[in-house]
Chains A and B, each alone.
Chain A
């Protein structure tokens, strides 16, 4: 596997996975998510 392929794949996957971790961390640590009345 060439270096440029690795760089592109790793960058894309890291960006998406980091974004998901950030978003879901914020969602699950948000205390205002109450059940609908």
Chain B
């Protein structure tokens, strides 16, 4: 390594940063819905199997590859893949590593801004006018906020809903880049050290609050029973196993290139086994313990079994921005509901911001390491690039633009990147050398069986998931009658796809230029 790169200030700093990146909206909104929908407690069987065979191995692979790349002066997928494999074309496969965070960021900060907006609306009592009974009213409110509907009902006599959304987006975007500009120790480490304890504290307060709000008819015991009652017949459904594996995959933020970048700022003998396991287990605490103890039990207590059932089926955004405000509006006295609603959306915002700052860092690292751009300049470049990249999601939300970024960013490319990483680790670097690197400086020795899991089982698991997701997408897009994309949305869908293709092409050219420059510098020396 020739240049001095940034370093983490402490081991706890990187653990909280990786855990913060992993803990996102899905922990609190998606996971409990999956449990209720796919077999209750029985869902935990495929979930924990995937945690052991997919989550933990991938976490260790990313931490190790990241630390190896960092030692060679690279912190993003193109540089790391090139440096650890010494194969010319591998740097181009690293494009996927940056494209994942690019695709996710194109919508994630906007969704994070909704949380901030809803926290504000909760505190100021804006939901009082939406009522306490009808989920459809909250759907209308959300659609107005998103600019899906042009007929104002809740945002009248002032700014339109979408303008509110845009202002909250600008504030959220600026906060993200403020911490990115401050760098690793002064920015990211600082925010996660404040946000993560706060997030867990609020989560515990909310879970305890929900537990004490039950009535004899709708007690917390009945609410937990609704969620956890195992339905073993669900285990014979392959979709349950795929959903469980998918959830583990996305909840740990593996296959996104984030851990690669974060681990690249470690020193050679820094422990990756314990740190990786700690970050993963902290994420699991936020998901299995806190995630399962708040929104579905609250829906059961305040809306009844039917309301809880509807919540489970509502999907991530439905739970977060339609059912959640309705639940808190049903709390008496209303002032208490306002405060608890504010805390809930603050929790979602904190979960979001610790993830979004981590999504910006791979691109920062790419510019800093491969082009030797200063942090100030890299921040300015990415501020403009990502601000522009977020605009299609904000202004063309109703045309399904977000689904394109979500599918490529959160589904297809992540699984693909993880598959590439595990093949690099187990087959190109080689299992012996890879294992040696993984265990270097380790405070706990991982069981030797993981050698075989990483080499054979995890790739196989990933191939099955890639095949399933690919099959689903092709089926949905080309063969499912009535579910295909409406013709008026097609230009927008292709515009979003065009943005992704253009970004990938520009990245390819940038990689070509960066490596050509390096070659010229070496020749000149």
Interface residues of A (CB under 8 A from B): 1-2, 4-9, 11-13, 15-17, 19-20, 23-24, 26-27, 30, 32-33, 35-37
Which residues does chain A contribute within 8 Å of B284, judged by CB atoms? 16, 19-20
Interface size class of B (residues with CB under 8 A): 35 or more
Residue of chain B at shortest CB distance from A7: B41
> Looking at chain A's contact residues, is the secondary structure mostly helix, strand, loop, or mixed?
helix
Query: A17-B285, A27-B278 known; A9 and B41 CB under 8 Å?
Result: yes
A24 touches B278 (CB 8 A): yes
Which residues does chain B contribute within 8 Å of A17, judged by CB atoms? 285, 289
> How distant is B450 from chain A, measured CB to nearest CB, in Å?
16
A9 touches B224 (CB 8 A): yes
Partner among B12, B221, B228 whose Cβ is within 8 Å of the Cβ of A27: B12
Which residues does chain B contribute within 8 Å of A20, judged by CB atoms? 278, 281-282, 284-285
Interface string of B273-287 (1 = CB under 8 A from A): 011011001101100
Q: Is B48 an interface position by the 8 A CB rule?
A: yes
Tell me the complex Cα distance, A7–B288, Å. Answer: 14
> How distant is B153 from chain A, measured CB to nearest CB, in Å?
41
Tell me the complex Cα distance, A37–B281, Å. Answer: 28
Interface residues of B (CB under 8 A from A): 7-12, 15, 40-42, 44, 48, 185, 221-222, 224-225, 228-230, 267, 271, 274-275, 277-278, 281-282, 284-285, 288-289, 292, 443-444
A-B contacts, 23 of them at CB < 8 A, read A1-B221, A2-B229, A4-B229, A4-B230, A5-B41, A5-B230, A9-B41, A9-B228, A12-B288, A16-B281, A19-B277, A20-B278, A23-B281, A24-B278, A26-B274, A26-B444, A27-B275, A30-B11, A30-B271, A32-B271, A33-B11, A33-B12, A35-B10
Tell me the complex Cα distance, A20–B465, Å. Answer: 28
A8 touches B230 (CB 8 A): yes
Partner among A16, A32, A35, A37 whose Cβ is within 8 Å of the Cβ of B288: A16
Which residues does chain A contribute within 8 Å of B230, judged by CB atoms? 4-5, 8
Residue of chain A at shortest CB distance from B441: A32
Tell me the complex Cα distance, A26–B8, Å. Answer: 19
Tell me the complex Cα distance, A13–B285, Å. Answer: 8
Which residues does chain B contribute within 8 Å of A12, judged by CB atoms? 41, 44, 48, 288
Which residues does chain A contribute within 8 Å of B12, judged by CB atoms? 27, 33
A33 touches B10 (CB 8 A): yes
